[in-house]
């Protein structure tokens, strides 16, 4: 999945990418003003990405020979639609990759991948203060749906 100018390639994550992926997860969390603890993340993510028959899809963006972005999809089920959809958990590009069409290319590839797998809908969320992402998603045809997201920590 290379670009026309060969400056970037979108490809499946590989084990060798894990240290850089963890760095990018931390940068992504910081970008969204969230906390991130890298402890044992590489082992956990490696388990979900590479072991058994993984259903979690992770693509990375090689930009000028360095991983500079990532995207994660997982299948979810909607009772209302009586069908599966993809939940895009993350789409993150470093600053030097933004505005170059890479994000749009990723969304196009996700749509193609979804169609090939019989999936008709992709859902995700972004913080309301991330105006740049909201504008990007709307420009790429996404339709916002206002909801309040809740978290329940089962350990507390």
Q: What is the pLDDT of residues 77-124, one digit of tens each?
A: 999 999 999 999 999 999 999 999 999 999 999 999 999 999 999 999
Q: What pLDDT is recorded for position 44?
A: 95
Q: Is the pLDDT of residue 148 over 90?
A: no
Question: For the chain, how far is it from start to end, CA to CA, in angstroms?
Answer: 43
Q: Is residue 102 part of a domain?
A: yes
Residue 154 inside a domain? The answer is: no
Q: Residue 48 domain-assigned?
A: yes
Looking at every residue in the chain, the average pLDDT score rounds to 92
Residue 12, SS3? strand
What is the spatial distance between Cα 131 and Cα 72, in angstroms, rounded to a whole number? 21
Q: What is the reported pLDDT for 1?
A: 61
Confidence at residue 82, expressed as pLDDT on a 0 to 100 scale: 95
Split at pLDDT 50, 70, 90, the class of 135 is very high
Domain count, the chain: 1
| Geometric angle at alpha carbon 8, from 107 and 49, rounded to 5° | 65
H-state helical runs in 10-101: 18-31, 41-50
Alpha-carbon gap, residue 22 to 19, rounded angstroms: 5
Please indicate, yes or no, if residue 149 is contained in any of the structural domains.
Answer: no
The CATH number linked to 93 is 3.40.630.30
pLDDT of residue 153: 82
Q: Is the pTM of this model over 0.85?
A: yes
Which domain does 70 fall in, by range?
A: 8-139
| Span 30-75, pLDDT tens digits | 999 999 999 999 999 999 999 999 999 999 999 998 999 999 999 9
Hey, how many other C-beta atoms are within 10 angstroms of the C-beta on 38? 12
Tokens (6 digits) for 113? 């991948």
Residue 144 falls inside a structural domain: no
30 falls within a domain: yes
DSSP-assigned letters across all residues of 80-100: TTTEEEEEEEEEEE-GGGTTT
- Residue 150, in any domain of the structure: no
Does residue 55 lie in a domain region?
yes
């Amino acid at each position: 999945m290379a670009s026309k100018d060969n400056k970037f390639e979108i490809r499946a994550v590989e084990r060798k990418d894990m240290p850089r992926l963890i760095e990018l997860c931390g940068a992504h969390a910081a970008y969204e003003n969230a906390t991130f603890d890298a402890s044992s993340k590489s082992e956990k993510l490696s388990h979900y990405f590479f072991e058994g028959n993984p259903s979690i899809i992770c693509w990375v963006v090689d930009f000028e020979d360095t991983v500079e972005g990532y995207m994660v999809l997982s299948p979810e089920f909607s009772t209302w639609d009586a069908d599966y959809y993809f939940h895009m958990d993350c789409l993150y590009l470093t600053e030097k990759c933004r505005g170059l069409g890479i994000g749009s290319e990723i969304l196009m590839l996700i749509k193609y991948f979804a169609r090939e797998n019989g999936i008709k809908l992709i859902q995700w969320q972004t913080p309301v203060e991330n105006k740049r992402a909201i504008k990007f998603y709307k420009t790429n045809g996404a339709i916002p749906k206002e909801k309040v997201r809740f978290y329940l920590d089962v350990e507390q």
